[in-house]
């Protein structure tokens, strides 16, 4: 693919800057995207990628600098103007309406949509043309994450864009869906559409992108041709320091700590997934990774383990003792701590400060409440210990949880649970939306906890993460959990099949694998 190198420049960004009160989001950012080029924008959270693309898409106006699109000055006042100029964007979150159907969602993203009947036909035509089949009449609330993304992509494609901006498109996809997406993007690039691809998954960028611009703290710190440099080199440019992969001690596994047997639970939400006969056990010192695309029962599973949703007494057992009927505090007492995915509003109360948030989950195991009175000195010390040990960057423990960045709050939430020294810890999406350095830190902390003899359950959509830290892997699909298999020797294809829910096939294959193993 040489279009990007030889072709003309599509968008030229020159010296763009943007300040918010107290933050310099972008400072003198310059780069150029060629026609038909797949250009990566790399950076950690808070590096200024989002602000930059929002300026290109007309959602935010730059303070200084200028942009040139196809030789003409380009300063979109609103997304409508950007779309009219041929710039389209696929969002990471917040741009679909669950209660509306596919065609209505597409129509909302267009400035001059054709009548609904024609639109439905064009959606079918375009979506099939790019290998992303979609039924225009279905409610978006009933679609999987991958299908939802198709809706967004098709919405953009119907407007025949010259530049397609993709914000973290693969964070919610299975490996097979990623392959389909990449094939589509390559087809688009071959047809002359430029793609601005935002991600922090370096391997993806290396397989897909022609050029990369790396941002750190709002500034361009480097450019490279991703195929020619290693992922590690890019990561270090992104972080500005060297990274080390988490170290895992290979200790002996202890007895079974957590048992879940035939757990079935209806989902409390209309768009949720009910759990169907989920069974697994985790031993002391073991990390079980539960993979799966969002919305396949992860939240429901966490709720059943944390005690938010109660089950039959013997369905969930800790060290052989039934705790399924107990609430969260009694389960903490029994040694089971959990950290849900949603940081603000579920794991932490947004408007309460870190000390208060530390008390909310730590009061039982740390003995922070005596005779009905709160031991504020002890609580403050506990919160400070979490902040110190987990390197939470905050002005102090009196700061409201809402004011922390996602990564910092995640470190706080996980640190709060880990410092309670639980015998079993269950986390959902521990590094979702967290930058590379913080993610490495969190993974290491979980492994350390396992090394000290705790049973760890990591529910994650990030397959790389599970491969990195888990001993065994199980896939959650439409509320059913596959048989856990050892991570060692697991291929991406196998994982993809498991995530896709081909359980029968995978069992047969697992047996075949064992036989092959035995023969070898």
Chain residues in the site for another protein (CB under 8 A): 58-59, 78-80, 83, 91, 94-100, 104, 107-109, 113, 270
Answer whether 111's CB lies under 8 Å from 161's CB: no
| DSSP track, 364-395 | HHHT-EETTEE-HHHHHHHHHHHHHHTT---S
Q: Which residue has the tokens 């109360």?
A: 349
Answer whether 226's CB lies under 8 Å from 234's CB: yes
Answer whether 162's CB lies under 8 Å from 194's CB: yes
CB of 132 to another protein, least distance (A): 20
CB of 167 to another protein, least distance (A): 10
Select 107 or 358, whichever has its Cβ closest to another protein: 107
Select 8 or 160, whichever has its Cβ closest to another protein: 160
Tokens encoding 232: 């590690």
Select 91 or 182, whichever has its Cβ closest to another protein: 91
CB of 270 to another protein, least distance (A): 5
Q: Where do the DSSP E strands lie in 441-479?
A: 455-459, 472-477
Helical ranges in 17-78 per DSSP H:
49-56
CB of 46 to another protein, least distance (A): 14
Tell me which residue of 58, 47, 54, 56 sits closest to 23, measured CA to CA. 47
Name the pairing type of β-strands 287-291 and 472-477. parallel
CB of 148 to another protein, least distance (A): 11
Q: Which residue has the tokens 């389909």?
A: 180
Q: Where do the DSSP E strands lie in 410-471?
A: 424-428, 455-459
CB of 156 to another protein, least distance (A): 11
Tell me which residue of 142, 163, 162, 140 sits closest to 152, measured CA to CA. 140
CB of 433 to another protein, least distance (A): 14
Select 109 or 407, whichever has its Cβ closest to another protein: 109
**Residues ≥6 apart with Cβ < 8 Å to 386:** 354, 358, 392, 412, 415, 416, 419
CB of 305 to another protein, least distance (A): 24
Answer whether 145's CB lies under 8 Å from 172's CB: yes
Select 49 or 331, whichever has its Cβ closest to another protein: 49
d(CA 30, CA 213): 9
CB of 273 to another protein, least distance (A): 14
Answer whether 189's CB lies under 8 Å from 36's CB: yes
CB of 393 to another protein, least distance (A): 21
CB of 358 to another protein, least distance (A): 27
Select 58 or 226, whichever has its Cβ closest to another protein: 58
Select 50 or 461, whichever has its Cβ closest to another protein: 50
Select 98 or 160, whichever has its Cβ closest to another protein: 98
Helical ranges in 278-375 per DSSP H:
298-306, 328-333, 354-366
Select 35 or 96, whichever has its Cβ closest to another protein: 96
Burial class, 242, CB count within 10 angstroms (exposed 0-12 / middle 13-18 / buried 19+): exposed
Answer whether 290's CB lies under 8 Å from 458's CB: yes
d(CA 475, CA 290): 6
């Amino acid at each position: 693919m040489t279009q990007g190198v030889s072709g003309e420049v599509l968008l030229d960004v020159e010296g763009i800057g943007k300040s918010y009160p107290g933050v310099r989001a972008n400072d003198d950012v310059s780069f150029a995207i060629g026609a038909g080029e797949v250009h990566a924008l790399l950076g950690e959270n808070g590096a200024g990628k989002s602000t930059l693309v929002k300026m290109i898409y007309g959602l935010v106006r730059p303070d200084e600098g200028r942009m040139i699109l196809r030789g003409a000055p380009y300063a979109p006042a609103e997304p409508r103007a950007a779309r009219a100029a041929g710039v389209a964007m696929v969002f990471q979150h917040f741009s679909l309406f669950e209660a509306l159907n596919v065609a209505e969602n597409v129509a909302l993203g267009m400035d001059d949509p054709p009548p609904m009947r024609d639109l439905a036909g064009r959606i079918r035509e375009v979506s099939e043309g790019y290998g992303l089949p979609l039924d225009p009449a279905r409610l978006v609330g009933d679609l999987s994450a991958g299908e939802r993304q198709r809706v967004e992509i098709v919405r953009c494609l119907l407007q025949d864009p010259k530049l397609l901006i993709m914000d973290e498109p693969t964070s919610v996809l299975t490996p097979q869906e990623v392959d389909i997406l990449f094939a589509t993007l390559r087809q688009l690039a071959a047809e002359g559409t430029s793609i601005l691809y935002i991600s922090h998954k370096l391997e993806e960028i290396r397989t897909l992108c022609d050029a990369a611009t790396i941002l750190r703290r709002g500034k361009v710190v480097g450019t490279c041709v991703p195929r020619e440099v290693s992922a590690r080199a890019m990561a270090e440019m992104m972080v500005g320091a060297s990274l080390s992969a988490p170290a895992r001690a290979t200790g002996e596994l202890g007895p079974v700590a957590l048992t879940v047997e035939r757990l079935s639970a209806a989902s409390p939400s209309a768009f949720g997934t009910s759990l169907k006969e989920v069974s697994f056990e985790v031993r002391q010192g073991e990390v079980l990774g539960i993979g799966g695309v969002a919305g396949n029962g992860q939240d429901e599973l966490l709720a059943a383990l944390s005690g938010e949703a109660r089950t039959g007494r013997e369905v969930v057992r800790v060290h052989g003792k039934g705790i399924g009927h107990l609430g969260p505090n009694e389960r903490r007492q029994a040694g089971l701590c959990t950290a849900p995915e949603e940081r603000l509003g579920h794991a932490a109360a947004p408007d309460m400060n870190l000390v208060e948030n530390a008390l909310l989950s730590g009061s039982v195991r740390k003995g922070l409440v005596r005779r009905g009175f709160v031991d504020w000195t002890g609580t403050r010390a506990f919160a400070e210990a979490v902040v110190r040990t987990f390197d939470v960057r905050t002005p102090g423990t009196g700061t409201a949880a809402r004011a922390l960045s996602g990564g910092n709050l995640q470190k706080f939430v996980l640190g709060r649970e880990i410092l309670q020294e639980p015998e079993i810890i269950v986390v959902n999406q521990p590094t979702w939306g967290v930058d590379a350095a913080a993610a490495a830190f969190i993974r290491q902390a979980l492994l350390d906890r396992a090394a000290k003899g705790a049973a760890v359950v990591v529910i994650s959509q990030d397959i790389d993460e599970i491969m990195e830290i888990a001993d065994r892997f199980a896939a959650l699909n439409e509320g059913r959990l596959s048989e856990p298999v050892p991570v060692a020797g697991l291929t991406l294809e196998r994982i993809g099949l498991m995530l896709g829910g081909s359980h029968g096939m995978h069992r047969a294959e697992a047996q075949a694998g064992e036989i092959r193993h035995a023969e070898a």
